[in-house]
Amino acid sequence: MVDFKALAKEYGTPLYVYDFDYMSEQYTELKEAFKGRKSIIAYAVKANSNLSVVRHFAKMGSGADCVSIGEVRRAFLAGIPAYKIIFSGVGKSDDEIREAIEKDILYINVESEAELQRVESIAEELGRPSRISIRVNPNIDPQTHPYISTGLHDNKFGVDLSTAKRMYIQAKNSEHLDPVGIHFHIGSQLTQLQPIREAAEIVADLIRSLQAIDIELKFFDVGGGLGVKYGNEETIKPYDYAQAILSTLTALDLTILCEPGRFLTANAGYFVTKVLYEKQNGDKKFVVVDGAMNDLLRPSLYNAYHKIEAITDNNGKTREVDIVGPVCESGDFFAKNYPLPELNRNDLLVIHSAGAYGFGMGSNYNTRGRSAEVAVQNGKARLIRKRECFEDLICLEQEFLVD
């Protein structure tokens, strides 16, 4: 059990705390689900890009799914080998494409015909072929939040089936492209198995049609998106997830690539914040804390639910309160009408399920330094990112001041 009081006393608040033992358990369970089939688990770095988190998965044999060249660089720094690194994302710049080819990563996930042309041109310029995968948009409703839906034609990601086939033919006929994989990812926080199975079936059928014209792929990249429990969600068991995908691959000898992020880190993370005041506005009760939307954006951005635990000596009757931060926005809240007991100054609130898309989506809005991050493993805590100070925030600006 994590001693949040002790950690808050040692490292201050607001504070991110990550349970590395839990991350290990999640990784192992997912890896075991694909046992008996060639597979690579490629951690989705965007979920939590702290170098120590990425290195933790690297030590377990993980690859990395990256959506910027910065994340590719993080993966290398964390010890992930080039042959397990994938570079995805809709808007790759020429410089990013060039560096990815030079670093000889496993492949670049291509998301449009225009991007394919740029990859081909840059590979020709460099005099070395680029391994690619093409992201297919199967037009399947993932039944998740619209902001994290990625598998419909209304979404910006990937290409339709006919465009994908045309792109594979172009790549097959190019001296500068090596088509090795196919990719789909229909969304994040997926809690229904049927959309995943349907998408896999569609993409597997496309692979068979490509084989008929002598285009042989090696990697079946199923993306990520496995949902987790924030509240009362019914989630998918990793074994069932794996079996649904494998059932679509009859007679196809492909390496499965799976790109989990949230599944590995969300429920390993906690955001610890300190109570500053309680405040009454008419009938509305507020608890004002030292953390804010710049630290943990998900409630403001998605109206996302997070379980919140009060660490207080007052265990009396609960009442409904809005939990808000110091940022000068009405959207700066962690929960509304949430049941909590009466709280005193310096009591702690622990916001659960904060290990994915928490710190990484943070900002310095209102000139607020970002939180420290701490890892807990085998009962021991260690600092993995120090708290930002004012000098950190102005270091890239100060030299340009003019009188």
The answer to whether the annotation marks 302 as part of a ligand binding site is yes
- For 247-360, where are the alpha helices, taking DSSP H only? 262-265, 298-302
Q: Which helix (H) or strand (E) holds 277?
A: strand 269-281
State yes or no: 260 annotated in a binding site.
yes
- CA 96 from chain centre, in angstroms, equals 20
CB 310 within 8 A of CB 341: yes
Interatomic CA distance for residues 233 and 235, integer angstroms: 6
Give me the phi and psi of 122, to 5 degrees please. -70, -40
Is 115 annotated as ligand-binding? no
Q: Among residues 66, 258, 328, 389, which one is catalytic?
A: 328
CA distance 320 to 243: 43
Q: Does 395 participate in catalysis according to the annotation?
A: no
Is 329 within any annotated ligand binding site?
yes
CB 142 within 8 A of CB 187: yes
Residue 21 amino acid letter: D
DSSP bridge partners of 269: 18
SS3 label, residue 122: helix
DSSP designation for 369: P
Is there a binding annotation on residue 74?
A: no
Q: CB-based contacts of 45: which residues, under 8 Å, 6+ apart?
A: 54, 64, 65, 66, 67, 71, 74, 75, 261
Token readout for 147 is 């902001």
Q: How many CB atoms lie within 10 A of CB 3?
A: 13
3-class secondary-structure state, position 20? helix
Task: Consult the annotation and say whether 298 binds a ligand.
Answer: yes
Question: Is 326 annotated as contributing to ligand binding?
Answer: no
Residue 12 assigned ligand-binding role: no
Q: Cα-flanking dihedrals φ and ψ of residue 8, to 5°?
A: -65, -35
- The CA distance from 109 to 323, in Å, is 41
Please indicate if the annotation marks 357 as binding a ligand.
Answer: yes
Q: Which residues are annotated as a binding site for substrate?
A: 262, 298, 302, 329, 357
Q: Which residues are annotated as a binding site for pyridoxal 5'-phosphate?
A: 225, 259-262, 357
The residues annotated with a catalytic role in the active site are 328
